[in-house]
Amino acid sequence: MKIRVYYEDTDCGNVVYYANYLKYMERSRTELLRENGIELAELHKKGLIFAVVEAHVKYRAPARYNDLLDVESRVTEMSTVSLTFHTTIKNRAGHLLVTGDIKLACLNSNNKAIRIPDEISETFTAAC
């Protein structure tokens, strides 16, 4: 997906504030799920949520105000209760700026780990 860097995303040096990359990664994960027919709002209604349990981010180069970023996520690992997404963020010229590996656990409404529903695990089994 494409994300434009707005002034509100930057720090006093006019570069993207480091924590905002996590927001970009979340948007990309959500869109990947949506593209595969998985709506998080529907899962929430069923008492199922995905919560971040690990985040590993490597910052290679800064993005700046008004840059157009290319943010791409894919599932790289899956267990019975978790999904790990790898995300890359590049600038318009294709230079790699940030990479991240974010692990999400599938939880019920009591915040207990539960098995990922079959329709989700089947969607990403081939990708892992």
In the chain, domain spans: 2-124
Amino acid residing at 92: R
What fold, for 2-124?
Thiol Ester Dehydrase; Chain A (3.10.129)
Q: What 3-state class would DSSP assign to 61?
A: coil
pTM of the model: 0.92
Q: Give the active site residues.
A: 11
Yes or no: say if 24 and 2 are a contact pair by the CB < 8 Å rule.
no
Query: Tell me, what's the pLDDT at 92?
Result: 96
**What is the full per-residue pLDDT of the chain (128 aa) written as tens digits?**
999 999 999 999 999 999 999 999 999 999 999 999 999 999 999 999 999 999 999 999 999 999 999 999 999 999 999 999 999 999 999 999 999 999 999 999 999 999 999 989 999 987 66
